[in-house]
Structure 1
Amino acid sequence: MFKKRTATGWPRHPVVHAALLVSLLALAGAQTARAGTAVDAQRLAEADQELGNWIQHGRTQSEQRYSPLDQINAGNVDDLGLAWYLDLGTKRGLEGTPLVVDGVLYFTGTWSAAYAVDARSGKLLWKNDLNVDRDRGQFACCDVVNRGMAMWNNKLYVGTIDGRLVALDATTGEVVWDKLTVDLERPYTITGAPRVVKGKVLIGNGGAEYGVRGYVSAYDAETGELAWRFYTVPGAPSQPFENPVLEKAAATWDAADKYWEIGGGGTVWDSMAYDPDLDLLYIGVGNGTPWNKEIRNPAGGDNLFLSSIVALRPETGEYVWHYQTTPGEGWDYTATQHLILADVEIEGEERPVIMQAPKNGFFYVLDRRDGRLISAENYVHVSWAKEIDLKTGRPVETDNSYKEHGVYQFPSPMGGHNWQPMCFHPETGYVYIPARELAMMYRQDEGFQYNPNFWNVGMEVMKDITVPAWVPAELVEKVGAATAQGFLLAWDPARQREVWRHNSDSPWNSGALCSGSNLVFEGTGRGYLDAYDAATGKRLWHYDVQQGVIGSPVTYTVDGEQYVSVLVGWGGAFGLSFGFASNTRQAPSVEGRLLTFKLGGQTQLPPVERLRRLPEPPPQTASDEEIEQGAKLYHHYCVYCHGPGAISHPNLADLRYMDAETHRTFDAIVLGGAQRDRGMVSFAGTISPEQSQLIHAYLIELGHNTLETERTRGSLWSRIKSGTYTALAQVAEWGVALLRWFKNAAD
């Protein structure tokens, strides 16, 4: 059972709660009138008392993402309407969590751009694009996204896609200091939100798919000087270890395999949390490089600190403890997912815990004082392990080796849960997880060779979903959608059991927001923002935002009125690569937005035209063999952004719908970098001109097939004459077989 208080001791007795709520709302109003950007250590520690604000990434240092505000409640949420919106002029993913401090809303967008907006009206106060080097976008595994900011002493802190940590004046948006945090000779990026603890700005990085060595750094918030750095994997054994614990970690790696030449991985690319009472900083560590442990470390070993939760001293970076969720990680099962701190009553004893639902499909409850495992159960279907042994803390693995043959396994690299934040609701005691069930075929890439400019996973990942040119797009979409499920999951962490789930109609959705009066908010990949009863899962409100949502909503008050704000813009890892999961109703003209709602809001979004116009592709001059070669090349190099069968998500260029000018300048775009400013970097040096022509031939064939399908749609006789009906029947048989395989694997 959960005691009737949160990790910070917030009382939940109704009378006391009401009295404190009135007094704190008054305090929040007083804070609005003062110079609100004076965020210091005390204000961060007492963030839970500032009901009108959202001054940290998870609202409080416990990262619970819960606001007691209840002006918007179960009884009136159906009257929630749009107050205002702000067009952002981007068609890439928006993953950020806004900060709201004393009437101003601060957030980050694509390409690490920073914004400040009047939280009452949506008026743009300033924007700074931070002069990001867009060539670094080629190393962003999962879209050129950014998840948010941190604030301290009238300064905002942003990590950039090109590896910098930038401090901005919160009033003007001007740069105060700018520090490069990575070696630009390596394919590092930054997409995660910084945190500020005790006057130090904490930032990690990404790039493990390409080949880097992970670490987290602390910079002085005032000067930008590096205070300390903690590496998450050991370096070359011939060099001195940066700290004593890395010497112990090195014993879990096989030095004969020279893992350090690629880097080892272990990037700290997202979640952190801080406990001021214990003075412990918690970080989540990512996957290995390459994913394939048989290539990375064939002799075996745990490969610390991959896929681990690590506790550090925030002033020095000193190691305190760790818990590894997936020893010897070999499936991209990161532990970078959201970390939540709370006090939980378990078997009659209150325990200070840290909770995580990492990619591997198990929900972990640890004692946050020392990292001891309390409980772990699978929250989605899992096939790689039977259970977590509570005595050893280690998984009891199944026969999941992919060295000799492929293994169809749950979860996929997208995880049972990915970066989208969970929330904890003290009124129910439940954690709300944006979860998914999705499998993948893991199979060793026998021809693996390290390429510093491209993905280095050591598996035939995307080759397994190569789509022949003749397969109709609607079949790809239907089969894909049938094998990928997404849902909002209410999970009882004390009893380790599911309470309810609500199907989101997409496997890639937003983070969750818990608010007073038993509400939970979540956006969906299908283009809606929803509110649920936190206890029962009943959907109470459903709003069409016109495109997929992956950003995380927040709530706040200005002048005594409660608002809910969310960034709307489809993209990210799954959203970028798999168009079938997106809001297929969306027109390609819809750009990303910041939407803000309030009770009685009357603003309307402009109408959109939801139809695509398919241009006539150029004549096909390639042979069937060349088209097949082009399909293989496309699904090796291009699929990560443009999707299987070129079914892109609606905000990115759908290569089946290229116009005459794009066809004419294809090589200039692919090899010459003609659209670099839009994020399409040059592939010169990665593919040859001949290979570019083969890929182009495949896309031309897809264009003709798509156009033919559009022309003959609805006419059975025309489809039989054109041969499309036969193709549909063939693919239908394949789809049914795949669905049966999926079901048998699940059973």
Structure 2
Amino acid sequence: MLKISSNIMSAVFVVGMVFHSLFAYAGATTKVNTESIVANSPDNWLSYGKDYKEQRYSELDRINVGNVADLSLAWSFDTDFNRGLEATPIAIDGVLYLTGNWSVVYALDARSGELLWKYDPQVPREWAKMACCDVVNRGVAAYEGKIIFGTLDARLIALDAVSGEKVWEVATADIKAYPYTITGAPRVAKGKVFIGNGGAEYGVRGYVSAYDVNTGEQLWRFYTVPANPADGFENEAMRAAAETWTGKWWEYGGGGTVWDSIVYDNELDQLYIGVGNGSPWNAKIRSPEGGDNLYLSSIVALNPDSGEYIWHYQETPAESWDYTASQHIMLADMDVKGESRKVIWHAPKNGFFFILDRLNGKLLSAEPYVDVNWASHYDLETGRPVETENARYLNEAQLVRPSSMGAHNWQAMAYSPQTGLVYIPVINSLFEYKAVDDYLYEWGQWNLGVYLQQQAVADPILAQILVRKITQGALLAWDPVKQEAAWQVPHKLTWNGGILATAGGLVFQGSAEGEVLAFRADNGEELWSFDANTGVMAPPVTYSVDGEQYVTILAGWGGAFGLIAGLEQEVSPPPSRVLTFKLGGVAAPLPANPLKQTHEPPARLTEDKAVLEKGRTLYYAYCSACHGTEAISNGAIPDLRHLPKAFHDNFNAIVLDGVMAKAGMVGFSEVLSDADAYALHAYILEQANVDRESREQPEWWKTIKTWVYGVVAKLLGFAMSFA
């Protein structure tokens, strides 16, 4: 009897502890609101950029320059897929909330990585085609007991933070009519959720919306480009913007999607949005008689309560290069000519580091932070760039820096008040912009107005070397006061991860080469590294539980460059993972990646160069964004050169009829004919057989070729540096 009573008492105690934990857990998540985000607890990471300034600086210093060498893996968590991960985890009193591929949300124990709950919004796999840049998501927002996120098919969903059950769901766009997506993380303030969307490459009209955090009711919407003037204007801001457009831009969508940076300024009670590129990219098509095309490539300040326009600054007038202004917006206070100013720091795609007065949007400074050749400088009186002669590709192709990837993309930068430096994951590259001969708008397809394909590369070894040598990435420490570089650490590849700065004198970053790295914040000295077995793009966060400091980062290779660049590996991509580190961690090493499976290709269909060139053009128009440059894939999406014979036997059924649509491979019968499919198939088989022949060459010959090609690539890169 005593034994039974003891068991009952033990069970009651356990149940009581569980309920106590749940109530404490619920209380912790309920406390997340505007005031707590402003307060910026160092133990938690409550918002996308940690707080409303979005400086990504942590006051935690238990992990520091003196002991970071002892940092090791505390735990890892495998997600359900192996595609690119871009999310910033939210850390709230011992629980991590994050998003993975296909907009799946995970809640994990921050100490152990144990899965607490998972929510799958069941995104239709065929909608992946409408995502320009992989099936990624940059994270959730937390507010008053709810976890809120956007889905790839443009829904906004709120979940109960404790149970993971859905509280409300709302469609932010009519995706039957327009190919919208959401990959960005929502922002929350004042009882509202702010979210934009993607889809400019497919021909949509951009906007940002506010929703009630408790009900999902839409409160307001601000469009970033005007619609058909004949239909009237939503507000005076749209009426003014329409005066800067010509032609029938609304038939092409216009673009201007707010796909990433949205920042609430609690000091001035303003909301800042970074507006994206034009649709199509080529300004001559969408606005043939000129015009600045507001509010493309602009930072716009809005009233967060009503969505009313306050001010704007356009960084790239008449944007024509995919130079979005949707990169990380950071708020700061700084001395400008002896006067304290509230400012915005911004390092967008166009390669200039901007300092704006956030009271009125006045340009205070703009200096290039990478190699730039589209503009010589900015006129501070007019606030406009002074373009060079080779900036516009009106009559002939032009090599332009930066490329369409930008000098800085979505990967977040960070700031350390200890050093006064802004840390930026930069890209140095160039792109040959060439206008298409005859533009034809196609719903649901890429509508750029420029050719994506660059010069053909016959040898796959050379193709890989060129990607690795010509496009350069680096971690740049930028002094915003002097407007110059303090130091720079080159990376082996481009498309490296976002940044975290800490009071321990450290800067953390993941790399495209597959490492998690820690540097001294003052001079860039590398102090620690960890092999993640895959490319790392996402930004790290740090938090503290029970006095123990942790660093967490998501590891998964993909995104826009990760897909199109290929960067072939001898192994298959591992599951995309959450990696968490602490001093003296004792987790088991990550398992080795499995070897890649390849299948010998069938014989070539033809050697007709005209057919193969047509196939290459079609491949770049419809396939390369997912399957990679020159048909070289990173492996997360099938490498078309290495597929089994059954794929080739059923090529038209797959590519035209879409028999694999439920797996994400939709059909293209609306835009491709049987003759087109034949040319496309011929090009893929040509690349497959070239690859097979290259693999069959003796190792000594491959070594010689690799060395020669490396020298050629270096010389070419040196020559291009003068472009």
TM-score (norm 1): 0.90
Q: Which amino acid aligns with 1:396?
A: V
The match for 2:208 is 216
Separation of aligned partners in 2, 1:729 and 1:420: 32
The match for 2:533 is 546
Separation of aligned partners in 2, 1:150 and 1:100: 11
* Residue 604 to residue 696, structure 1, CA distance change in 2 (3 Å): farther
Separation of aligned partners in 2, 1:81 and 1:658: 38
1:199 aligns with 2:177: no
1:506 aligns with 2:496: no
1:671 aligns with 2:671: no
Equivalent residues in 2 for 1:93-104 (5 A)?
Answer: 93-104=84-95
Equivalent residues in 2 for 1:398-477 (5 A)?
Answer: 398-399=388-389, 400-460=391-451, 462-467=452-457, 471-477=458-464
Separation of aligned partners in 1, 2:424 and 2:706: 37
Report the alpha carbon displacement of residue 586 of structure 1 after superposing the two structures with TM: 6.4
Separation of aligned partners in 2, 1:175 and 1:684: 37
Separation of aligned partners in 1, 2:484 and 2:706: 42
Report the alpha carbon displacement of residue 701 of structure 1 after superposing the two structures with TM: 2.4
The match for 2:604 is 620
Report the alpha carbon displacement of residue 735 of structure 1 after superposing the two structures with TM: 5.1
Separation of aligned partners in 1, 2:661 and 2:89: 28
Separation of aligned partners in 1, 2:434 and 2:32: 50
Separation of aligned partners in 2, 1:675 and 1:85: 32
Stretches of structure 2 lacking an aligned partner (at least 5 in a row): 1-20
1:342 aligns with 2:332: yes
Report the alpha carbon displacement of residue 481 of structure 1 after superposing the two structures with TM: 1.7
Maintained 8 Å contact 2:74/2:586: yes
Separation of aligned partners in 2, 1:446 and 1:518: 53
Equivalent residues in 2 for 1:206-605 (5 A)?
Answer: 206-254=198-246, 257-399=247-389, 400-460=391-451, 462-467=452-457, 471-580=458-567, 587-605=571-589
Dislocated runs of 4+, deviation >6 Å = 31-34, 727-734
Separation of aligned partners in 2, 1:41 and 1:169: 15
1:57 aligns with 2:35: no
* Residue 65 to residue 729, structure 1, CA distance change in 2 (3 Å): closer
The match for 2:15 is none
The match for 1:37 is 29
Match of 2:696, SS state, is helix
Maintained 8 Å contact 1:466/1:644: no
Separation of aligned partners in 2, 1:445 and 1:110: 33
Maintained 8 Å contact 1:216/1:231: yes
Report the alpha carbon displacement of residue 42 of structure 1 after superposing the two structures with TM: 4.4
Separation of aligned partners in 2, 1:527 and 1:589: 11
Separation of aligned partners in 2, 1:585 and 1:736: 22
Separation of aligned partners in 1, 2:501 and 2:707: 46
Report the alpha carbon displacement of residue 732 of structure 1 after superposing the two structures with TM: 8.3
Report the alpha carbon displacement of residue 152 of structure 1 after superposing the two structures with TM: 1.1
Separation of aligned partners in 2, 1:202 and 1:37: 19
The match for 1:3 is none
Maintained 8 Å contact 2:38/2:266: no
Match of 2:365, SS state, is strand
Separation of aligned partners in 2, 1:73 and 1:734: 42
The match for 2:629 is 644
Maintained 8 Å contact 2:533/2:593: no
Maintained 8 Å contact 2:276/2:324: yes
* Residue 406 to residue 224, structure 1, CA distance change in 2 (3 Å): same
Separation of aligned partners in 2, 1:709 and 1:488: 35
Deviations 1:110-151 (A, max 9, x none): 111111111111011111111212222111111111001111
Maintained 8 Å contact 1:338/1:357: yes
Report the alpha carbon displacement of residue 728 of structure 1 after superposing the two structures with TM: 8.8
Q: Which amino acid aligns with 2:532?
A: V
1:742 aligns with 2:720: yes
Match of 1:686, SS state, is coil
The match for 1:88 is 79
Equivalent residues in 2 for 1:12-161 (5 A)?
Answer: 35-48=27-40, 50-161=41-152
Match of 1:35, SS state, is helix
Separation of aligned partners in 2, 1:383 and 1:398: 7
Maintained 8 Å contact 2:34/2:190: no
Match of 1:209, SS state, is helix
Separation of aligned partners in 2, 1:124 and 1:41: 25
1:607 aligns with 2:597: no
Separation of aligned partners in 2, 1:398 and 1:628: 33
Report the alpha carbon displacement of residue 222 of structure 1 after superposing the two structures with TM: 0.6
Deviations 1:653-685 (A, max 9, x none): 112211233333333332333433443222221
Q: Which amino acid aligns with 1:410?
A: R
Deviations 1:602-632 (A, max 9, x none): 2133432564343221223423333343223
* Residue 628 to residue 322, structure 1, CA distance change in 2 (3 Å): closer
Separation of aligned partners in 2, 1:260 and 1:33: 48
Separation of aligned partners in 2, 1:285 and 1:46: 25
Separation of aligned partners in 2, 1:623 and 1:504: 40
Maintained 8 Å contact 1:423/1:512: yes
Separation of aligned partners in 2, 1:485 and 1:148: 27
Q: Which amino acid aligns with 1:204?
A: G
Separation of aligned partners in 1, 2:53 and 2:711: 50
The match for 2:11 is none
Report the alpha carbon displacement of residue 406 of structure 1 after superposing the two structures with TM: 0.9
Separation of aligned partners in 2, 1:434 and 1:715: 37
Match of 1:464, SS state, is coil
* Residue 382 to residue 540, structure 1, CA distance change in 2 (3 Å): same
1:680 aligns with 2:665: yes
Match of 2:720, SS state, is helix
Separation of aligned partners in 2, 1:427 and 1:730: 46
Separation of aligned partners in 2, 1:213 and 1:33: 41
Which shifted more, 433-442 or 687-696?
A: 687-696
Q: Which amino acid aligns with 1:239?
A: D
Stretches of structure 1 lacking an aligned partner (at least 5 in a row): 1-28
The match for 1:711 is 696
Separation of aligned partners in 2, 1:512 and 1:729: 34
Separation of aligned partners in 2, 1:508 and 1:729: 24
TM-score (norm 2): 0.93
Maintained 8 Å contact 2:605/2:685: no
Maintained 8 Å contact 1:212/1:264: yes
Deviations 1:85-120 (A, max 9, x none): 111121211110010111110001111111111111
Which shifted more, 131-140 or 98-107?
A: 131-140
Deviations 1:413-472 (A, max 9, x none): 100001111011111111000001010011111211111121111112x232444xxx22
Deviations 1:531-561 (A, max 9, x none): 0101001011111000000111100011111
Match of 2:680, SS state, is helix
* Residue 437 to residue 34, structure 1, CA distance change in 2 (3 Å): same
The match for 2:14 is none
Maintained 8 Å contact 2:280/2:286: yes
Separation of aligned partners in 2, 1:110 and 1:613: 23
